[in-house]
Structure 1
């Protein structure tokens, strides 16, 4: 009997893995394959934090397969060439994989399909593996995708969800097909000091713990910067060590406002993927142009560096940017504030911020990252494109005691709230004692510049 190949990409798990389940139902043995694709680095998608997290994920996947009698085959090079090579070595007549949604991934998938067909093999692609509701499954009557989240969510919530499938009890892998040594986290340089561990085992541990101790209060605490009460499951969703389908099912069974709020966030994730699938150019170009003439030049570059380094003089922004570098992750509310500050207060191109986030974020992917940046910049799907988030007002609301700021900006450790959010207003001697910069721009000045640039000088 031919041995099928199961190609793992961003679905690095055994629980709820339809391609693997289907392959095992059709054959006595399979080749679980992961290819370290050279094109990922060439396209600029490789980054130290994701490389280290990926190494954890592959090690954990291999260990789980070995517990079931199998192993993970890892190859490096061009993905299409390596998959075809492994299929030839195994005598496989088919390759199974999860559906892709970015332009890069869909083009790669099509190249693989053509290459396999030339060799007389089939590529079988499974939907709803890396998303709950695949792009194109729910659409408005007048377009190929939804451009506004609320009507999308109404249909998404009614869409049928496939059943989650159990992890296999046994996986047999032929000895003839060999792989290379697994990558190790320690081989990756430039990793954030507090980068979390990766892998399905860690993802399921986090999921279980959050369901017990965090989910019920999620709706009330998810914007609380100091509480750190979000699920922190985003990296596991990005690498597919957790299944979005399984998470939606579990949350709906659990019920309550917290579970409903979490499901809504999973719908946002699918929403961005259906936008990008329909408009792949939005990864680099404005989804809805505002004809911005973003700031450039030496002054803008200095502001950008201050933003990246967490030295803008606005404590909540600086705390967010320092958290990003230290953990490879940032609280979602802080992401909104940091993005609004760069694009609207500093009036810097959203692509500058998106590239910086994509380099550091362990959960950084093209759909969520680029389209969230466009949403904040007002060039995306936000129905209020000219809204500006005031960092001081937001900090007082979501970090009222200043605990988040003091955690990441130790220069302000001795400053109490509410003064910690506006240290430039401290009395002369107290301000002089702080090794902390003045604001790079006044909020009123930044707001006026943005309104003028968008032709809304007289508008709030």
Structure 2
């Protein structure tokens, strides 16, 4: 079992053996399979589980994720209270609030689940600069970034060899939820967030319930009722036959390791677990290249177009290409988009309209319930040809994609009410109608053939 942490200590600071340990929750909002929490309880017995609502971070997040976060924190607090503890919630700059809490409780060590973003790296550096010992533990991925590396280099740049190494690697054993969590006396828990007013983008019409309890129920239902059909149906746009667990993994309400193990070895498991490996792949790339959200991983000297009107039409689902517009409106309506539709819409923006991938990736990040730096920006760069795709000039013909993955136009009609009266495959090509559908625009670019 590998639950090793990375640690940095201040040799000049005296350590109190009876001091509580701070456990800083970030993207790991659960009590099951939580190495940082388990190690803290093993170390001192008393812990201060803390989550800091940083207004600066919330303002840059999607409203949908802020709303989902409120559910997740309520579920985490309930899980800790069932075990005799509590979740301490503070508002403000994360490092300043953690330092103040450490001073008030006598804690000198912070346990955290290791992140891969530039934000996570800055937070750790600042905590250590504040005189705190920071120990980082696995838990964000199935296989921690850096545990499998090629013979030469610090990370895998291509998925297939990574997948082979990932499959062959020995996974750590998942950890049970603690029986008891002891919180030191005199610590004010603080209030949970009560609204989703902060953040960017549009709030979806309906969001699933967040939190560990709901996430584990979704996982159970997926394994029992959806997993076996996954190989045949995962690209079926109208079928929506994917797991819908990505948001639960994004906030860490589910352990990625437990999710992979829950799939077992039956029908569908291999294909589904491969998708978790893709998630790990992007995380191990981002751990080494934390500028994934702002800079080309592989510069290709592409010439991008500045076209605000085309970008606005794409964002609103008004390009006149139904398969693209359906995906974009699903995003606005649900805070979610089918993975096949994500590839189609991203390719249309970057390859057909030749608008910079950052414009599209930022828009996704402002709306996606499951948006994170590694997967969102890593996948966008893959599609745009600046990332880890070995075929940077890969073709995505939107009409061919529509005919293959939505042949009867069911997905298109679900999200484009203007095309509701066009039967079957006619909904995929409204520009060919003798009378244009009322309220629906003509294509702003070549829709394919």
After superposition, where does 1:32-431 map in structure 2 within 5 Å? Answer: 32-41=49-58, 45-117=60-132, 122-127=133-138, 129-185=139-195, 187-188=197-198, 190-251=202-263, 254-296=264-306, 300-426=307-433, 428=434, 431=435
**Structure 1: gaps spanning 5 or more residues:** 448-460
* 2:33 aligned with 1:16: yes
Does structure 2 retain, via aligned residues, the 8 Å contact 1:56–1:184?
no
Secondary structure in 2 matching 1:280: coil
In 1, the alpha carbon distance for the partners of 2:237 and 2:447 equals: 21
Q: TM-score with structure 2 length normalisation? A: 0.92
Greater fraction helix: 1
In structure 2, the residue matched to 1:458 is: none
* 2:438 aligned with 1:434: yes
Residue 93 of structure 1, CA deviation:
3.3
Secondary structure in 2 matching 1:6: strand
Secondary structure in 2 matching 1:125: strand
In 2, the alpha carbon distance for the partners of 1:146 and 1:19 equals: 26
In 2, the alpha carbon distance for the partners of 1:94 and 1:293 equals: 49
Q: Deviations over 1:280-330 (max 9, x none)?
A: 23321111122112111xxx2111111100011111111100000111110
> Alignment length, in residue pairs?
430
**Structure 2: gaps spanning 5 or more residues:** 1-17
Does structure 1 retain, via aligned residues, the 8 Å contact 2:86–2:189?
no
CA, structure 1 residues 334+90, in 2 after alignment: closer, same or farther (shift >3 Å)? same
Secondary structure in 1 matching 2:130: helix
Does structure 2 retain, via aligned residues, the 8 Å contact 1:116–1:123?
no
In 2, the alpha carbon distance for the partners of 1:82 and 1:39 equals: 14
State the Cα RMSD in Å.
1.6
In 2, the alpha carbon distance for the partners of 1:114 and 1:287 equals: 30
CA, structure 1 residues 45+367, in 2 after alignment: closer, same or farther (shift >3 Å)? farther
In 1, the alpha carbon distance for the partners of 2:437 and 2:145 equals: 55
Residue 95 of structure 1, CA deviation:
1.6
In 2, the alpha carbon distance for the partners of 1:137 and 1:172 equals: 32
Does structure 1 retain, via aligned residues, the 8 Å contact 2:430–2:437?
no
Q: Deviations over 1:377-421 (max 9, x none)?
A: 111111111112111111111111211111100111111121110
Does structure 1 retain, via aligned residues, the 8 Å contact 2:430–2:436?
no
In structure 2, the residue matched to 1:451 is: none
In 1, the alpha carbon distance for the partners of 2:37 and 2:172 equals: 16
In 2, the alpha carbon distance for the partners of 1:65 and 1:321 equals: 38
Does structure 1 retain, via aligned residues, the 8 Å contact 2:293–2:358?
no
Q: TM-score with structure 1 length normalisation? A: 0.90
Secondary structure in 1 matching 2:292: helix
CA, structure 1 residues 66+417, in 2 after alignment: closer, same or farther (shift >3 Å)? same
